[in-house]
Chains A and B, each alone.
Chain A
Amino acid sequence: MDEKDNIIKEKKEEKEIKEKKDSKEAEEKKEEKKVEEEKKNEEIKEKIVEITKEQILCKTAKEYFDSGEDELKKNRFNSALVLFFKSLIALTDLYIYQKTKNTPSSHVNRFKITKEKFEEVYNIIDKDFPHYQDSYVQLVSKELVEVIRDDAKIMAEKTQIKL
């Protein structure tokens, strides 16, 4: 009788151990799955931010460029210059984002990044920036507006954006 009891007891213990083991494994699997899911969500989230940032910069660049064209047609050169320059800057930020996954926080930061890493881009914006600044107080020529527009087009090519 005792022997039988012992066997039953042993089996019961074995069963308990197995159940505990199974439950631990299940929990571990669950945890792994959770971590995996979280990682996946994070990746999706990052991708959404990436797309959104690119899309925003692309959209604003196009919008400013189109508005610049409209103003140019109306011979409103100062407004056209400001808009083409804004388009140029949106494209510059897009270029920086495509290369570094970061966007500049200010003009100073933008100039610093381009001067250090993308000299060709720096030369374009550094050349055009004073004219954007002066456009508030000086009458600008059509020819100057066309130069800024062409520079925006150069940046559009660099970022592979169709304006």
Chain B
Amino acid sequence: MMQKLWQKKPKLSYNEQVFDIVQFGSSVKEGAKPNDIDIAVIFKQGSVKEQLEGAQKIKRQLEKISELPIHIKPFDLYSFFDIGNFAKENVLFYGMSLIYGDYFAKRFGLIPKTYLFYSLNDMDKKDKVRFNYALSGRVGSYGLIRKYGGRILRPGLVEVFPEYEDLFFDSLKKITNKIVLQKKFDLA
């Protein structure tokens, strides 16, 4: 039983019209306490009725390996990118494929990354040191980068994986308010 179903790459039975099964929302984020698990089932094509029934079959299988309730939503590739689909940014940026065990965005040749801009100007030396320790660690303890991955691109800018962005943000925000996140995609 686990929250990050995508890491398990569960063996699911589904028809050939399924393009991908994607876990998204708070359940993919490190440190979050979700109430349910959001799953998007993306179909290549097929009638809405078939998509609904197909998604329901997948839901029943996932319910057996999840402690949390499953909230499932079917799309076809056309409706997924429709302007009326408010969930698409979340699915595309944070979504993790249960079939491939990797970022869903990679199916489109994209790698999601979060940039974390910060400024240490006008800070006490003591807080600057605290910030650097939190980020890069010190003798005897790991910093956020060592623990969760990511890299310092230049002073004032850290690149982190989307699923860890809240963890970085919340930890560093305790030391400085001058910190902002920016989402971006790299070409794979």
Interface residues of A (CB under 8 A from B): 123, 126-128, 130, 134, 137-139, 141, 143-144, 146-147, 150
Contacts and interface: CB of A to CB of B under 8 A. Distances in A.
A123 B52 CA distance: 11
Given A138-B85, A139-B84, A127 B48 contact: no
A141 B48 contact: yes
A141 B79 contact: yes
A143 B71 CA distance: 21
Contacts of B49: 143, 147, 150
Contacts, number: 30
Closest 9 CB pairs of A and B: A139-B84, A143-B48, A127-B56, A147-B49, A144-B48, A127-B52, A147-B48, A138-B84, A137-B86
B32 to A, nearest CB: 21
A138 B90 CA distance: 14
A34 B49 CA distance: 59
Contact of A147 (B52, B73, B84): B52
B85 A143 contact: no
Interface string B49-92: 10011011001000000000001110000010010111100000
B15 interface: no
Contact of B47 (A123, A137, A138, A143): A143
A147 B52 CA distance: 9
Contacts of B59: 126
A134 B73 contact: yes
Contacts of A123: 56
B22 to A, nearest CB: 15
B56 A126 contact: yes
B74 to A, nearest CB: 9
B56 A130 contact: no
Contacts of B86: 137-138
Contacts of A128: 52
6 contacts: A127-B53, A127-B56, A141-B48, A143-B47, A147-B49, A150-B49
A3 B86 CA distance: 111
B73 A130 contact: yes
Interface in B79-121: 79, 82, 84-87
